[in-house]
Structure 1
């Protein structure tokens, strides 16, 4: 009952955010504005940002491969990249469950049983959220607005405190994960899962990979901002923080396909102070286009690899 209420509430919030953002975009941006910024360099920047965004699939597949190998379920990086790439587009379906269902189905057909899949994807989700919070918090702190609000003493202790919290989280993960699994996946016996969870070193490597994903995406946003608004003063750390923290908000709004609307509203709120008028909106709309292109590119490449692997298996 509570899950249904949560999903319904998430759907309502997602729809409200989507409608609000689209209404604001239509009201703020005119056809003349779009035509003015629709230049060759702008399209090239969006394409480059899309390619940077697309790197999250091979990087995340490497992290997944490491975790699977650590619990005795080795699979090739190529195969896991293909699974993640093919199922990537399903996140645009309402409810945000199609991607996980498709990924589970493809994984099981390729010899990844439900327990290793559940363990590693559960770890992946928690680590991706932790990485987003870390990068988002650090980006907000080290942005021009953030640094202006703190003394040098506060700046000096920030990194050690953040590193200490990270170490504590990684140390507590293995003893606490069975309880979390019991809460979110009660159908599976979590009492014997502690010994099957990835080790702390593997989790740390995966966390670094997910952090790299957010930084790479931030570089893409920064590139878009520089090309669209060459005369503006850009704050890379603020742009990085806006997406990372908006991703967390979109994750906790299950009704919004790929966080559509929710993430844009959060990013708009964070960027509006530094980018007046329609400038922030231009960056956000261009970046959303880049993510759609990046997901499409990953899907096409992965699907082509899937077709090739099937033909190879059939011919042999």
Structure 2
């Protein structure tokens, strides 16, 4: 009951905020013109975003290999791209379900498949939080406060420590105990033995690269509409990562719809012309959907041609 109420409150709040921002700057938004070079930059931004999703699928296969599961990377990358657009469906779980089924079929282990799908968004969120903590001083007036910098360092240390197997494996074991009754009586599934043997350095670096590519796509989109200075890139990367993280974790926002846009506008409207920010965010959402759709279509086509 409370979860449904929270979803409606979040949805209502984001819609009101976005509606007011668009209403206040509608005239400026309609006056923005995109020239030929701007359209070329937007095309590049779409390609970079598609590359980011393909890269994320490859990183997912790294996570399975960290769990000692031999997999064929290209097949699971295709699955990742095909299931990506399902995150916009109500419930925001169907892309996870499709990946669990595919990983189980590829590895024979429900435990490893489920754990890989749990770890993948966890590492994504950790990567986004790391970028926010590193570049977050660009977003606050407290960037010269030594206490703020110490707190920032401590938060970063907590995030990195939380990914250590010492902390992750007990959580995995606890979740397994809660779900043990759902396993078959013969214990054919090996989920109880699935463990992280070492710190997931490679997958974490991969997710940092994923966020970097997504941030690059967003920065290119903004650059297509107006000038962006090199010293503004850390600010944009930090703001993008924070907005993406909120859209990723806030309930009731499939694909981060609304939450990402409202957060990005709130963070950037005082640093760039509001009309440019609103237009760039709307265009980037369109670019993201086009890239995800193109990724799914290309995965289907590649699978079809391979057969």
**TM-score higher than 0.5:** yes
Counterparts of 1:26 and 1:154 in 2: how far apart (Å)? Answer: 34
1:22–1:159 CA distance, 2 compared to 1 (3 A):
closer
Which residue among 193, 199, 219 is the counterpart of 2:197?
A: 199
1:273–1:307 CA distance, 2 compared to 1 (3 A):
same
Counterparts of 2:180 and 2:192 in 1: how far apart (Å)? Answer: 15
Q: Which residue does the alignment assign to 2:187?
A: none
Within the alignment, does 1:83 sit opposite 2:79 as a pair? Answer: yes
The answer for unaligned runs of 5 or more in structure 2 is 185-189
Report deviation, 1:129.
1.2
Report deviation, 1:153.
9.3
- Name which of structure 1's ranges 59-68 and 253-262 shifts more when overlaid on structure 2: 59-68
The answer for unaligned runs of 5 or more in structure 1 is none
Could you list the per-position Cα deviations for residues 38-91 of structure 1 after superposition, in whole angstroms to 9, with x for gaps in the alignment? 332222222212221222333222322222223332111101110000011111
- Name which of structure 1's ranges 231-240 and 60-69 shifts more when overlaid on structure 2: 231-240
Counterparts of 2:252 and 2:150 in 1: how far apart (Å)? Answer: 40
Q: Which residue does the alignment assign to 2:88?
A: 92
Which residue among 232, 235, 240 is the counterpart of 1:238?
A: 235
Counterparts of 1:295 and 1:36 in 2: how far apart (Å)? Answer: 26
Q: Which residue does the alignment assign to 1:19?
A: 15
Which residue among 229, 240, 250 is the counterpart of 2:226?
A: 229
Q: Which residue does the alignment assign to 1:120?
A: 116
Q: Which residue does the alignment assign to 2:160?
A: 166
TM-score, length-normalised on structure 2?
Answer: 0.83
Could you list the per-position Cα deviations for residues 91-118 of structure 1 after superposition, in whole angstroms to 9, with x for gaps in the alignment? 1112212212232334445455422111
- Summarize the alignment of residues 50-69 of structure 1 with structure 2, pairs less than 5 Å apart: 50-69=46-65
Could you list the per-position Cα deviations for residues 213-264 of structure 1 after superposition, in whole angstroms to 9, with x for gaps in the alignment? 1111112222222231127786212211222122222223332221100111
1:247–1:231 CA distance, 2 compared to 1 (3 A):
closer
Give the total of aligned pairs.
Answer: 302
1:272–1:234 CA distance, 2 compared to 1 (3 A):
farther
Counterparts of 1:5 and 1:153 in 2: how far apart (Å)? Answer: 37
Counterparts of 1:113 and 1:269 in 2: how far apart (Å)? Answer: 44
Structure 1 vs Structure 2 CA RMSD: 3.2
- Name which of structure 1's ranges 278-287 and 172-181 shifts more when overlaid on structure 2: 172-181
Counterparts of 1:52 and 1:102 in 2: how far apart (Å)? Answer: 25
SS at match of 1:200: coil
Counterparts of 1:161 and 1:17 in 2: how far apart (Å)? Answer: 28
